[in-house]
A and B are shown apart, each in its own frame.
Chain A
């Protein structure tokens, strides 16, 4: 049985790591946000360490080339019957190189009728966008696509 003290020790280690990581990755140039979180930390936080499976059931729609980084359309569709026994519990949208990799966590219910979510995100530069899906049976699925962010046109 784990002792209370040991538990806190472990917690302390985790806290120290997550507190140091953002400082290192954003040294100097950009002011760090208290919400800074790397892609890997974000995925682990959502899945609890499980490795998500790539799946063709997840349709992630993002432009290959974004005409500006401020408004990038993202649409996620997941094949699911959305019944009380088999439904998509959550759709998470992640951006691999934003200072906070987490964009949005959408918790769905069978009352949604269809597992779809669409929004627009900001991307700090060329990177990968992922849709991480949590199913009602506890499985995690993922789809990823890279997005080139350009500064296009004039003005």
Chain B
């Protein structure tokens, strides 16, 4: 079931030209629970809930595809580079092990 999650896509530098290679970061609020830790008060296992897939899609083309495991920190950050190739949209689609699917988009507007 989809759930509203806070997420951000950051591009560095903020202003870029067509053809430039920019740093792109995706960050999201997610517990990344491994399923092996216990709730300190109730002593019960916290069920596993972690992002298992992240996909960067730019103008309909998948540029980066990640398989994610339990070990990423809570509220994870994924940073990589991408080559700007025209005006359009970057969409990050992420799913977790419980079947939750979400996406976040950012408009790409190269200057000059």
Contacts and interface: CB of A to CB of B under 8 A. Distances in A.
Q: Do A and B bind each other?
A: yes
A43 interface: no
B45 A31 contact: yes
B36 A30 contact: yes
B66 interface: yes
B64 A112 contact: yes
Q: How large is the interface on A (under 10, 10 to 19, 20 to 34, 35 or more residues)?
A: 20 to 34
A32 B110 CA distance: 48
Nearest to B45: A31
A120 B76 CA distance: 7
B70 A106 contact: no
B69 A103 contact: yes
B80 A117 contact: yes
Nearest to A102: B69
A33 B71 contact: no
Contacts of A108: 63-64, 80
Contacts of B73: 70-72, 119-122
A70 B77 contact: no
A13 interface: no
Interface string A1-44: 00000000000000000000000000000111101000000000
Contacts of B23: 116
A120 B74 CA distance: 9
Nearest to A123: B71
B93 interface: no
A97 to B, nearest CB: 11
Contacts of B102: none
B79 interface: yes
B106 interface: no
B80 A116 contact: yes
Contacts of A118: 77, 79-80
A117 B69 contact: no
A98 B65 contact: no
B94 interface: no
Interface string A89-114: 00000010011101111111101111
B63 A121 contact: no
Interface string B74-104: 1011111111010000000000000000000
Interface string B7-24: 000000000000001010
Given A71-B74, A105-B68, 15 more contacts: A31-B45, A33-B70, A35-B70, A95-B71, A100-B70, A102-B71, A104-B68, A108-B63, A108-B64, A114-B21, A114-B81, A117-B78, A117-B80, A122-B72, A122-B73
